[in-house]
Structure 1
Amino acid sequence: MYPKISLMGYRLSGSRCLGLCLLLTFFMGCYLAALPIQYENEALPNQVRHRITAKQVLKKRLAVLVPFRDRFEELLEFVPHMYSFLNKQKIPFHIFIVQQKDNNRFNRASLINVGFIYTKKDYDYIAMHDVDLLPMNDNLPYEYPSLGPVHISSPQTHPKYHYDTFIGGILLVKREHYEMVNGMSNNYWGWGLEDDEFYVRLKDANLSVIRPNNITTGTDNTFRHIHDKTYRRRDMRKCFNQREVTRRRDRLTGLHDVAYKLHTTHTVAVDGLNVTVLNVELTCDKSKTPWCQCPDPPKEPVKKS
């Protein structure tokens, strides 16, 4: 005979046990909720909040503007060199080759104006950069010129030009300052003087040109000048009244009235490194600047033997 077990009593005991467990869980939850949260490091909550709410300061973007015509050998050296140089400084940049595609004489200043118009919405500052001048000293700073234009290729380090007001070669200008002085003059067809006129514009706007400090290299080893003057002769002709006009400050032309057509834009890879090529046709008003096309010098008669 097996003993009889009362199921009624068992159910009654189980209900009481379940009720006790629920009651204890409720009181323990209330107790824990009332306890303050303890941190091993009291500054930790503030540090975490700071990381979440702080906004990262983004670096300013640089548009490297290279006025260009028929200098492909130099370009093949320029692009890989500048990619390597600027990547070391961790500068967000892109190279724009502003190529003149017309029959007029080369106009460096107008091409820079066109490049600025094309890039100003997306870039914070420009480098007006000759294709044949390669910086070799890693301490030359291409960072954002917040205080004023920065002349990278200073007279103390440029391989050829050493006068105090020289600002050619490589000049950094932020977007607001370039617009403030109305860009560069459009009167300079042929080689030379457009950067000297731009210096006067900066001076008239009370903008001081800043040059790199603590550069220990000199005129022989700060830059590599890859221009071959025997192969690439500069167009230094002066015709009509060009000499008279271009020696004066130009208060009329500039960024607002540069006349051009942008025919095409292309992304071109040089050693796998992308640059943007702008194919530009500059328009010349011969009633104002007839020297955009100097007449060819008369040929000497062939002497008969």
Structure 2
Amino acid sequence: MKSVLSLPLTRVKKIILILDENCLDIKAAENVTVMKKKRQDVPKTHSFWINILSMIKPKYFYLSIVVFCLGYMCVIQLFWMLEKTSRKIRSDILKSNGTQNSILKTCPRISPNLKGQRKLNLTPCFMSECSMETKATNSSPENCNMMYCNNNASACVFADCSRHFPATSQSRQFVTKECEVNNTNETTEDHFALLGQFGGYWKPNQCLPIRHVAIIIPFRDRREHLCILLKNLIPVLVSQLTEFRIFVIEQADKKVFNKGRVMNAGFLEARKIYEFDCVIFHDVDLIPEHDGNLYECGDQPRHLSVAVDTMNYKLLYSYLVGGVLGLRPQHFRRVNGFSNNYWGWGGEDDDMALRIVYSGLRITRPAAKVARYKMLTHEKRKKFEKRYDLLRSARQRMPGDGLSDVPYRVISTQLYTFYTKIQVDVGNTN
């Protein structure tokens, strides 16, 4: 091989030039390989925007950035406006339901408002039934649904608790403060919480109630007792944070009182008006003494009036369910309601106890220390002489005597402030 030094200078320059070109090609190939590897490492989203930007001519680059930012801000503004509108709609719905809270929690089963043993308000009073005006007009109810009287019948005071509301809905919110009693003659302590809505309906506005109760009061010629019961019962139900509606079912005919038919008719009519998950049949002469006695239904029928003052606060016998009894609607249908055949005083409650047992259910009760009631004095109805004969045949009669075939006719349905009154004709004794 010839030495490089022996070659001509021009030849040496050509050899050097060829070597330089080969080196550049090798370096370029290495750079391409590195760029491909980097391109593979770039995320797809980044590579997408890099490709978009690479297609933009340099002179339009900054303009494109400005347009992109403006578009992004418009999208953010649109989503913000939609969220604001959604919040306003939800707020309006909650306000229409009587609450300002954006998020409502479930009411506790044991309310913090309970006071335990309550001081009873037994001041003689009677209900002055001022009905609501026709719904077609925007008139307001009169302020005379509750009246208090002292021992001197000439000195009466009215509870001025209602306010002006459009008479277009049954869900009007009632006054949420203690009632102001107007009396120019003397000072009275007959204040009690009249929290509720018209038609005897009320629900808490600070939480979602877990109880939805229909109170059914069989009624006839007990106006004084009804007034005393309501002004003591309503504060108990309110303090328990229970959603409730009170139904007064009055036997309006002149026949002997049939409590079973009245309560069966009341259940069927209340079901048409109010959706409840617990029905409590409540005697008009039993006043609750303790608000720890929860007005609720469980998995079994629940007898609430365990300890009554006239019975020395003791349960007379284990199958007693008279006074105040709560049942789930499905349980009441399962036992086919009350018997329709008991006229006068006594028998229908014991018949119900037998129906509960024969249906495979059992009677439950709260503790006697809270299930305390005071019984108002009244004249007893005439005893039903055939009640013992009917009790012997209770099991055989149960499928065809009760809720499934109760004979009644609705005479009128009237909405008052503290209750819904339904007058019924319960048919003949035969």
Q: What is the TM-score of this pair, normalised by structure 2? A: 0.50
Aligned AA (2:62): C
- Partner residue in 1 for 2:403: 255
- Partner residue in 1 for 2:357: 203
Quote the offset at 1:234 in angstroms.
2.3
Cα distance in 1, alignment partners of residues 293 and 303 from structure 2: 10
- Partner residue in 2 for 1:149: 301
Residues 207, 242 of structure 1: CA spacing in aligned structure 2 closer, same or farther, 3 A cutoff? closer
Quote the offset at 1:130 in angstroms.
0.3
Alignment check: 8 A CA contact 1:188 1:246 kept: no
Quote the offset at 1:247 in angstroms.
4.4
Give matches, 1:35-54, under 5 Å: none
Alignment check: 8 A CA contact 1:140 1:152 kept: yes
Deviation by residue 1:232-289 (Cα, 9 ceiling, x = unmatched): 2321252xx55523443133310011111111111223xxxx2111111111252xxx
Residues 55, 217 of structure 1: CA spacing in aligned structure 2 closer, same or farther, 3 A cutoff? closer
Deviation by residue 1:90-138 (Cα, 9 ceiling, x = unmatched): 1111111110111221111111100011122422221010011011111
Pair 1:128 & 2:278 matched: no
- Partner residue in 1 for 2:427: 283
SS of 1:105's equivalent in the other structure is coil
Deviation by residue 1:142-187 (Cα, 9 ceiling, x = unmatched): 12x2311111112xx1332521110111011111110111111011
Residues 18, 151 of structure 1: CA spacing in aligned structure 2 closer, same or farther, 3 A cutoff? farther
Give matches, 1:1-305, under 5 Å: 19=60, 21-22=62-63, 25=66, 59-121=210-272, 122-143=275-296, 145-154=297-306, 157-159=307-309, 160=311, 162-213=316-367, 215-216=368-369, 222-228=372-378, 232-238=379-385, 243-249=388-394, 250-251=397-398, 252-269=400-417, 274-286=418-430
- Partner residue in 2 for 1:302: none
Residues 20, 134 of structure 1: CA spacing in aligned structure 2 closer, same or farther, 3 A cutoff? same
SS of 2:415's equivalent in the other structure is strand
Q: Higher relative contact order at CA 8 Å, sep ≥6: structure 1 or structure 2?
A: 1
Alignment check: 8 A CA contact 1:187 1:246 kept: no
Residues 22, 153 of structure 1: CA spacing in aligned structure 2 closer, same or farther, 3 A cutoff? same
Alignment check: 8 A CA contact 2:346 2:387 kept: no
Residues 19, 133 of structure 1: CA spacing in aligned structure 2 closer, same or farther, 3 A cutoff? same
Quote the offset at 1:17 in angstroms.
11
- Structure with a larger share of its residues in helix: 2
SS of 1:216's equivalent in the other structure is coil
Cα distance in 1, alignment partners of residues 384 and 354 from structure 2: 23
Q: Which runs of 5+ in 1 are unaligned?
A: 1-15, 30-51, 287-305
Which piece of structure 1 moves more, 277-286 or 129-138? Answer: 277-286
Aligned AA (1:80): K
Alignment check: 8 A CA contact 1:61 1:124 kept: yes
SS of 1:283's equivalent in the other structure is coil
Residues 117, 21 of structure 1: CA spacing in aligned structure 2 closer, same or farther, 3 A cutoff? same
Alignment check: 8 A CA contact 2:346 2:384 kept: no
Cα distance in 2, alignment partners of residues 82 and 27 from structure 1: 67
Residues 113, 17 of structure 1: CA spacing in aligned structure 2 closer, same or farther, 3 A cutoff? same
- Larger Rg, first or second structure (1 or 2): 2
Alignment check: 8 A CA contact 2:248 2:421 kept: yes
Alignment check: 8 A CA contact 2:279 2:329 kept: yes
Runs of 4 or more, structure 1, over 4 Å off, are: 16-20, 23-29, 54-58
Alignment check: 8 A CA contact 2:209 2:241 kept: no
Deviation by residue 1:279-305 (Cα, 9 ceiling, x = unmatched): 11111252xxxxxxxxxxxxxxxxxxx
Alignment check: 8 A CA contact 1:140 1:212 kept: yes
Cα distance in 1, alignment partners of residues 343 and 280 from structure 2: 21
Root mean square deviation, CA, Å: 3.1
Q: What is the TM-score of this pair, normalised by structure 1? A: 0.69
Aligned AA (1:102): D
Which piece of structure 1 moves more, 69-78 or 276-285? Answer: 276-285
Residues 93, 28 of structure 1: CA spacing in aligned structure 2 closer, same or farther, 3 A cutoff? closer
Cα distance in 2, alignment partners of residues 180 and 201 from structure 1: 9
Alignment check: 8 A CA contact 2:293 2:370 kept: no
